[in-house]
Amino acid sequence: MYSERFKKLIPYTPGEQPQNRKYIKLNTNENPFPPSSKINDYLKSVDISRLQLYPDPTAFKLREAIGNYYSVSASNIFVGNGSDEVLSLCFSAFFNNAEGPVLFPEYTYSFYPVYCSYYSLNYTRVPVKKDFSLSVDLFLTSPAYTGIIFPNPNAPTGIGLEQQEILKLMDSVREDVVVIIDEAYIDFGGTSSIPLIQKFDNLLIVQTFSKSRALAGSRIGFAVGNKNLIEALTTVKDSFNSYPLDFISQKLGEIAVSDTAHFRDITERIIKNREYTSFEFKRLGWEVLPSQANFIFTRKKGIAGKDVYDALKEKGILVRHFNQAGIEDFIRITIGKRDDMEFLLDCAEDLK
């Protein structure tokens, strides 16, 4: 009754989205601020007869708007139903088991091994340095590999990778290997590698509207790269679902990427709150990894990560705990509004 593919699946476990009790949600890196108010104006004016028709399968206007923002052509942009879908299509289009494993960091986005299980790909977790930052050299010493993927800044650590390290990687990697940089959190302080696609035909950048654009509910993700890579992704998409983005989401993405003033405002507030929260946690004796994202990764000597998670949940705050050896005593805390951070700090102060 079940396929061989199905029998091998190990699905991703998303952070909780509780529908009953009201929690302060600091567990899935959603934006604490609402999206552009222009979205509200648009939604009030939607013509429902438009729902009778299929949306534009190429999402051209959205791709054009994203292209304008990053000064690249629409032919360099691919869009999908959340960057999770875009990433999945990348694994399908660019990675071949026969060439070796997919490489990704030891501690990273836990969806990558899930895609490997889905597409029957082997993978190697490349060790991180003692301070949890990525080591480009260790990626490059791997004997054989079919592709490389890592988030910048990395998740769940929040640590960014220097542009010069990325250049070193791109200069040394085989030209027929696609390198995917998952920039889900790049807008919170990192330097995007999008300009590098002009120089490297095998570099693909993936981003999302779920975090910095405050549109997790709309499921909009995109990839930026050489047009041959974009065409390959389009072929895979059209072999699976030609219309991954409904017409409303396409329009919301267009509006969001064009409202730069609102985007800057909410992003700056999150960065400020992150600096405040990191400083205060350190003052209370917690170790906080240096974050360029909209979350911090922190631990305190003498308290198990799971106990911190449980104690905070008891107080009505949801954070994320990963049961993985080496990071099991950390918790990942999404940066919320200032008063939520103050309440969190009060609770953290009581933890023994």
Rounded Cα distance between 212 and 221, Å, is: 12
User: What is the closest distance, in whole angstroms, from the C-beta atom of residue 223 to ligand PLP in the complex?
Assistant: 11
DSSP 198-266: GT-TTEEEEEESSSTTS-GGG-EEEEEE-HHHHHHHHHHHTTT-S--S-HHHHHHHHHHHH-HHHHHHH
Please say which residue, 13 or 228, places its beta carbon nearer to ligand PLP.
Answer: 13
Please say which residue, 208 or 250, places its beta carbon nearer to ligand PLP.
Answer: 208
**Is there a contact between 99 and 122 (Cβ–Cβ < 8 Å)?**
no
Please say which residue, 82 or 336, places its beta carbon nearer to ligand PLP.
Answer: 82
Rounded Cα distance between 21 and 40, Å, is: 27
Rounded Cα distance between 96 and 177, Å, is: 10
Please say which residue, 202 or 334, places its beta carbon nearer to ligand PLP.
Answer: 334
Tokens of 271: 């960065």
- Residue 129's Cβ-count burial label (10 Å; 0-12, 13-18, 19+) is exposed
Rounded Cα distance between 247 and 310, Å, is: 41
SS3 content of the chain, % helix, strand, coil (to 5): 45, 15, 45
Chain contacts with ligand PLP (rule: CB under 6 A): 29, 82-84, 109, 151, 155, 182, 184, 208, 210, 216, 221
User: What is the closest distance, in whole angstroms, from the C-beta atom of residue 36 to ligand PLP in the complex?
Assistant: 17
Rounded Cα distance between 325 and 152, Å, is: 22
Rounded Cα distance between 55 and 92, Å, is: 24
CB count in 10 Å sphere of residue 141: 9
Please say which residue, 134 or 348, places its beta carbon nearer to ligand PLP.
Answer: 134
User: What is the closest distance, in whole angstroms, from the C-beta atom of residue 193 to ligand PLP in the complex?
Assistant: 15
Please say which residue, 184 or 232, places its beta carbon nearer to ligand PLP.
Answer: 184
- DSSP label at 320? B
User: What is the closest distance, in whole angstroms, from the C-beta atom of residue 81 to ligand PLP in the complex?
Assistant: 8
Please say which residue, 32 or 100, places its beta carbon nearer to ligand PLP.
Answer: 32
User: What is the closest distance, in whole angstroms, from the C-beta atom of residue 104 to ligand PLP in the complex?
Assistant: 11
**Cis status, amide bond into 55, omega within 30 of 0:** no
Please say which residue, 10 or 284, places its beta carbon nearer to ligand PLP.
Answer: 10
User: What is the closest distance, in whole angstroms, from the C-beta atom of residue 208 to ligand PLP in the complex?
Assistant: 3
Rounded Cα distance between 104 and 106, Å, is: 7
User: What is the closest distance, in whole angstroms, from the C-beta atom of residue 110 to ligand PLP in the complex?
Assistant: 9
How many residues would you count in the chain?
352
User: What is the closest distance, in whole angstroms, from the C-beta atom of residue 205 to ligand PLP in the complex?
Assistant: 12
Rounded Cα distance between 151 and 229, Å, is: 19
